[in-house]
Amino acid sequence: MISFIMTQAAAMGYQSCYLETLDELKDAVRLYEIFGFRHLAKRLGDTGHNSCGICMLKKL
């Protein structure tokens, strides 16, 4: 499903996919890494998700 969504997003013209998640969701973080998401040193903008300690980005 993640691959399908990323393919659809790229087809729609999106260049990247950004996410924020919680530190304790280690299995989810590992899944994102497997699908090519990379850790960022800081947030992109002010999303309001201040409790999320992990920010990740995937180039599409």
**Separation of first and last alpha carbons in the chain:** 15
The answer to whether the CB of 55 falls within 8 A of the CB of 42 is: yes
Query: Can you give the pLDDT at residue 48?
Result: 86
pLDDT (tens digit per residue) in 5-48: 999 999 999 999 999 999 999 999 999 999 999 999 999 988 88
Report whether pLDDT(49) > 90.
Answer: no
Query: Can you give the pLDDT at residue 50?
Result: 85
Q: Please, which residues bridge with residue 54 across strands?
A: 21
Per the listing, tokens 């993640």 go with 2
Per the listing, tokens 């999320």 go with 52
pTM: 0.89
Q: Where do the structural domains in the chain lie, given as residue ranges?
A: 2-59
The answer to whether the CB of 53 falls within 8 A of the CB of 23 is: yes
